[in-house]
Chain A
Amino acid sequence: MTYIGGSVHRIEDTALLRGEARFAADLSFPGQLHMRVVRSPVACGRLLGVDASGAASLPGVEAVWTSADVADVPPIDFRMTRTPGLEPYRQPILAEGMVRYVGEPAAVVMADDAYTAEDAAGLVFLDIEELDPVLDPVRGGGRAVEAAVLEKGYGDVEAAFEGAAEVVEMELAVGRHSGVPMETRGALARYDPMTAAIEMFGAAKVPHYNRSAIASMLGIPAARVVLREGCVGGGFGIRGELYPEDVLVCLAAWRLGRPVRWVEDRREHLMAANHSRDQVHRIRAAVDPDGWVRGVEDEFWLDQGAYVRTHAVTVADLTASLVPGPYVWPAYRVRGRVRLTNKTPCGTYRAPGRYEGSFVRERLMDVIARRLGLDPAEVRRRNLIPAGDMPYDRGVDALGSSVVYDSGDYEALLDRVLEYLDYEQLSDGLAERRAAGESVGIGFGYFIEKSGLGPFDGVRVTVDEAGQAVIVTGVSSVGQGVETALAQICADHLGVPLEAVRVRCGQTDDLPYGMGSFASRVTVMTGSAVLIAARRVREKALDAAAPVLEAAVGDLTVEAGRVFVKGSPDGPGVTLAELARRLRPGAGPAAGDGEDDREPGLTAEGWFEAAHMTYPYGLHTAVAAVDRDTGEVRVERFVVAYDIGRAVNPGLVDGQIVGGAAQGIGGALLEEFVYDEAGQPLAVGFMDYLMPTLHEMPPVEVLLSEDAPSPLNPLGVKGAGEGGITAAGAAVANAVADALGRPEGITRLPIRPDLVRRLADG
């Protein structure tokens, strides 16, 4: 055990640093066509016709397709959280009869050159009879279609409110954000007539699922579609879901018999790839005078946009289940309404439902504290689930399985943060600054994350005759360090140096099954599978080495790729490379004729299954200063304490947390997809969709905690990918409200300067 727990440098970096890595847009095939999508310029209207004659006559244009050309292809189905009745709201790959949001694909052009394709797309005329768009899911005048209603809860909510000393009621909202990875979407497909298979490069996140979904939509067996992942420029939930363009690229390559390449530009990305968040909550809490929350009732509206995409109601489901977070709240009832509007369809974005729910819960807890004249940290402490109650059955389900917090000492983490901050002294210091005329404040955001979503994942580990170990897995790498973390686990449990491990991800013809990279699941699920497979390979190596070394299996060990008798590293030994040669077919001790019942090679598969998720937890603290004249908010300090059970690579975990915090602060202060009254998106470039630069980022202080290993997997790990962002919006909002001395003033993210100024003016 030497690599797990160490901040080793990443094994995937060299090609990325040299500019030699290949992202989707870096690939080309001879004779390829370039696809350009013609998108709806209006939010809502009847699509009466498409005149493609101008485009089709441009030299270099091979084909122009409209919905009539793809009428045999069904709409894109749900990958997760399917609930009955959603089918009518699925998106077709090209708009049929109606256009429902600005950016909806209505036609595609295929041409010899990307510039020509874009020229031609500009010549395609969409004949649209414009209709009034529906833009407000809450007050849409009854016109917003309600695609689904989710109801969950536990305990006696009526009794909780009867006789409550105080009822705190708030309307809270989180605007439209999205992951916005630096690489836009792209895909390159080709058809091989010899195998009758379509091969698509540019896959990510869930290649196996998407392979089967594309095959099903095209009416061919799954084995005739192969998806390949190369380097991926950021995931964050949005990347790798099945979009209309992926299916169009595959279909075009098949029908036209030429490779087809599609790379979207940033404007397209911001109006066509999944948006997220965009929820309004009306929440009320029944409270005792000492701050104990007796019960909570929440109703929320989720602006789903124009279609229900692959996630179905995942975000609403997770929101509803995890609003109570770390608190006991003996009674809870929630109703979530998923409504359709004429905006870009929504999916997940890092910490889906938890960023929104944490903002709502933690703002509520702050307001409860202020109303009762209590300290916000103390009110939180009084309501935390005690460590002695673990595992704790939350009494609701999420993503189809019951929510059971597997381990945690929430109060210990709060204490650790207060001690780290020197809370009393910090509060006194802020009070002094306020007395001197500054507007500064502190805000907390306690949160529960979820991670390690099942049901399974698997790997194959093979040591070749040169002593190289290769991990083949069905999950994908979207840039978060998957290769390094898996290699560390393999190296430790197999007994090889880290440099001897390679990882191969995201190729659907490598392994028949694979789940993918989402829900902070890879280290938990795939990491556990690697541990299992590595141990099996190790056992196989010991079995093969025992006769060579004339020793009992139990007396042998593996270190640095060599098997020897325990305690005698300088004595006789045999390398894994040599054992791999001995395990060749035909090299067995009883080699002869007929069937060989040995499984050849130094190789084994490992599969890990999980019926329940694991639940890491953390606390965000923000200190913010407000400029009352300009409305500018300056986050001075940002502290993230996060318990993930066990860190495979603390350096990578730190990177995940700081990166998440940046996105969370962006969502709190800067980022929003704004629409005008005609449904035109106003944030379709980086001049308007504002993401934090280094200038806006405070130094982020990370307190990594390993108090509560998960009992649900052999590594004890919980996922680390999302906790950096989860309660960042909540903490910043609470700090700004504190700074302004307006505890109930901040009810919406992002917190725009105009609101800050209004509140500052009283």
Chain B
Amino acid sequence: MTEPIDLTLDVNGRSYQVRVEPRRTLADTLRDDCGLTGTHLGCEHGVCGACTVLADGLPVRSCLMFAVQCEGMELRTVEGLAEDGRLHPMQQAFWENHGLQCGFCTPGFLMLAVGYLEQHPDPDEEELRAVLSSNLCRCTGYQNILKAVRQAAADMRR
């Protein structure tokens, strides 16, 4: 089971041929084998959520998945949010509301919020607070993240 395996991963609509050990996490594979270092590792035990990506539309902790589990899935990372050079409404809202400071947790929050809002476009306040409590930020105190996601939810519904 330690022999490397050849895989094709579909990330942000592009296909990546990688050769990885079965134990290699999705996060390490995205970062080191696909060169997509926007996905960050904050704890590697599934608590902080900095490594959140979308797998078939659902937010997942990429540190808790193995790359070999993801063949055939449609993966999305922070690098895939902006289109034609234009920031995604979620990115724009984070910028306008000062929803980031050091920016390390930001990709995880962006993917968490985008993934949730795509499935639940009109969440109430309590729901939004519960969802955003999945991830950790050490800089902002969350207030501006909440504000940004609220604004983006409205923008994404338009």
Closest A residue to B131 using CB positions: A694
A181: B residues at CB distance < 8 A: 102, 104, 138
Q: B129 within 8 Å of A by Cβ?
A: yes
Q: A184 within 8 Å of B by Cβ?
A: yes
B110 touching A17 by the CB < 8 A rule? yes
B129: A residues at CB distance < 8 A: 694-695
A266 touching B38 by the CB < 8 A rule? no
Q: B14-32: contact bitstring with A at CB < 8 Å (1 yes, 0 no)?
A: 0000000101100010011
Closest A residue to B88 using CB positions: A17
Closest A residue to B36 using CB positions: A19
Closest B residue to A180 using CB positions: B138
> Which residues 55-97 of B have a CB within 8 angstroms of A?
77-79, 81-82, 87, 91, 94-96
Bound-state CA distance A115–B33 (Å) is: 14
Q: B11 within 8 Å of A by Cβ?
A: no
Interface of chain A: mostly helix, strand, loop or mixed: loop
A17 touching B106 by the CB < 8 A rule? yes
Q: A218 within 8 Å of B by Cβ?
A: no
Q: How far is the CB of B45 from chain A (nearest CB, A)?
A: 6
B43 touching A266 by the CB < 8 A rule? yes
Bound-state CA distance A23–B36 (Å) is: 12
Given A182-B48, A183-B104, A691-B138, A18 contacting B43 (CB threshold 8 A): no
Q: B121 within 8 Å of A by Cβ?
A: no
Q: How far is the CB of B144 from chain A (nearest CB, A)?
A: 6
Given A184-B42, A266-B44, A26 contacting B133 (CB threshold 8 A): no
Q: A234 within 8 Å of B by Cβ?
A: yes
A16 touching B100 by the CB < 8 A rule? yes
A686 touching B95 by the CB < 8 A rule? no
> Which residues 636-689 of A have a CB within 8 angstroms of B?
651-652, 654-655, 658-663, 685-687
Bound-state CA distance A182–B103 (Å) is: 9
Q: A15-47: contact bitstring with B at CB < 8 Å (1 yes, 0 no)?
A: 011111111011010000000000000000000
Q: How far is the CB of B148 from chain A (nearest CB, A)?
A: 11
Given A17-B87, A21-B103, A687-B47, A652 contacting B39 (CB threshold 8 A): no
The one of B95, B105, B107, B135 that contacts A14, using a Cβ cutoff of 8 Å: B95
B141 touching A658 by the CB < 8 A rule? yes
Given A658-B144, A694-B129, A685 contacting B47 (CB threshold 8 A): yes
A18 touching B38 by the CB < 8 A rule? yes
Bound-state CA distance A685–B43 (Å) is: 8
A374: B residues at CB distance < 8 A: none
Closest B residue to A26 using CB positions: B37
A697: B residues at CB distance < 8 A: 141-143
Closest B residue to A183 using CB positions: B104
Q: A478 within 8 Å of B by Cβ?
A: yes
B37 touching A234 by the CB < 8 A rule? no
Q: A480 within 8 Å of B by Cβ?
A: yes
Bound-state CA distance A651–B31 (Å) is: 33
B98 touching A23 by the CB < 8 A rule? no
The number of residues on chain B lying at the interface, defined by a beta carbon within 8 Å of a beta carbon of chain A, is: 56
Closest B residue to A265 using CB positions: B44
B82: A residues at CB distance < 8 A: 18
B104 touching A182 by the CB < 8 A rule? yes
Q: How far is the CB of A681 from chain B (nearest CB, A)?
A: 15
Closest A residue to B143 using CB positions: A658
Q: A700-714: contact bitstring with B at CB < 8 Å (1 yes, 0 no)?
A: 100000000000000
Bound-state CA distance A337–B105 (Å) is: 38
A20 touching B38 by the CB < 8 A rule? yes
Closest B residue to A232 using CB positions: B102
B105: A residues at CB distance < 8 A: 182
B106: A residues at CB distance < 8 A: 16-17
B98 touching A651 by the CB < 8 A rule? yes
Bound-state CA distance A12–B87 (Å) is: 15
B47 touching A686 by the CB < 8 A rule? yes
A231: B residues at CB distance < 8 A: 102-104
Q: How far is the CB of A482 from chain B (nearest CB, A)?
A: 11
Given A18-B82, A659-B140, A694-B146, A13 contacting B95 (CB threshold 8 A): yes
Bound-state CA distance A265–B96 (Å) is: 32
The number of residues on chain A lying at the interface, defined by a beta carbon within 8 Å of a beta carbon of chain B, is: 58
Q: B34 within 8 Å of A by Cβ?
A: no
Closest A residue to B85 using CB positions: A18
The one of B21, B32, B38, B96 that contacts A19, using a Cβ cutoff of 8 Å: B38
The one of A16, A22, A25, A693 that contacts B142, using a Cβ cutoff of 8 Å: A693
The one of B21, B39, B104 that contacts A479, using a Cβ cutoff of 8 Å: B104
Q: A305 within 8 Å of B by Cβ?
A: no
Q: A216-260: contact bitstring with B at CB < 8 Å (1 yes, 0 no)?
A: 000000000000000111111000000000000000000000000
A266: B residues at CB distance < 8 A: 42-45, 48
The one of A14, A236, A658 that contacts B140, using a Cβ cutoff of 8 Å: A658
Q: A453-482: contact bitstring with B at CB < 8 Å (1 yes, 0 no)?
A: 000000000000000000000000011110
Q: How far is the CB of B142 from chain A (nearest CB, A)?
A: 4
Bound-state CA distance A21–B107 (Å) is: 11
Q: How far is the CB of B136 from chain A (nearest CB, A)?
A: 6
A9 touching B96 by the CB < 8 A rule? yes
Q: A699 within 8 Å of B by Cβ?
A: yes
Q: B130 within 8 Å of A by Cβ?
A: yes
B94 touching A655 by the CB < 8 A rule? no
Closest B residue to A233 using CB positions: B104
Given A18-B82, A266-B42, A695-B129, A655 contacting B98 (CB threshold 8 A): yes
A23: B residues at CB distance < 8 A: 37, 40, 104
B94 touching A17 by the CB < 8 A rule? yes
A13: B residues at CB distance < 8 A: 94-95, 100, 103
Q: A581 within 8 Å of B by Cβ?
A: no
B136 touching A182 by the CB < 8 A rule? yes
A182 touching B50 by the CB < 8 A rule? yes
A19 touching B78 by the CB < 8 A rule? yes
Given contacts A17-B95, A17-B110, A480-B139, 15 further A-B contacts (CB under 8 A): A16-B103, A19-B36, A19-B79, A179-B138, A182-B137, A183-B40, A231-B102, A235-B102, A479-B103, A654-B98, A655-B98, A655-B139, A655-B144, A658-B141, A693-B136
Interface, chain A (partner B; CB < 8 A)? 7, 9-10, 12-14, 16-23, 25-26, 28, 114-115, 179-184, 231-236, 265-266, 478-481, 651-652, 654-655, 658-663, 685-687, 691, 693-695, 697, 699-700, 724
Shortest 8 CB-CB contacts between residues of A and residues of B: A19-B38, A479-B102, A16-B103, A233-B104, A19-B78, A662-B141, A686-B47, A658-B141
Interface, chain B (partner A; CB < 8 A)? 21, 23-24, 28, 31-32, 36-45, 47-48, 50, 77-79, 81-82, 87, 91, 94-96, 98, 100-107, 110, 129-130, 132-146
* 12 cross-chain CB contacts under 8 A: A10-B95, A19-B77, A23-B40, A182-B40, A182-B136, A182-B137, A233-B102, A265-B44, A266-B42, A479-B139, A658-B144, A693-B134
